[in-house]
Amino acid sequence: MNKQLMVVGAVLGVTSVLLGAFGAHGLKTLIPADAINIFETGVRYQMYHALFLMVVGLIPLMANKSKKIILYLVLAGVILFSGSIYGLATNTLTSFDFKNIGFITPIGGLFLIVSWVYLIVNIIKYKS
């Protein structure tokens, strides 16, 4: 489970760097500055949670089942939160109107929050 967390964290990390570079350079002339800022929010939260997964992978005091739950919560959260942010920021570049599914952004944010709360609960419950 630890290796899986580290690999997924690293994949999320590298894709956030790639998306950040794409946003800063590739999208600069295609979308307005406020949309670039929105896009960067998605990149930032993706990177935060990439690092979060890697730290969880290094924590020896958690059961694998708890780590797996955190992994799924973070993956769902990043896909829904950051993914919808990317879509909303680049909405003018596609024929699909991402504003129609903008309601999933806070759902993704909730998954991310719950993953942190779940970690806190597991740390508090840990008996050495």
State pLDDT tens for residues 56-98: 999 888 899 999 999 999 999 999 999 999 999 999 898 888 8
| Counts of helices then strands in the chain (DSSP H, E) | 5, 0
**Is 3 exposed, middle or buried (CB count within 10 Å of its CB: 0-12, 13-18, 19+)?**
exposed
How many C-beta neighbours within 10 Å does residue 124 have?
7
Q: What is the pTM of this model?
A: 0.89
What does the pLDDT look like over 19-59, one tens digit per residue?
999 999 999 899 999 999 999 999 999 999 999 999 999 98
Work out how many domains the chain is built from and give that number.
1
Rg, C-alpha atoms of the chain:
16
Domain of 89 in residue numbering reads as 2-125
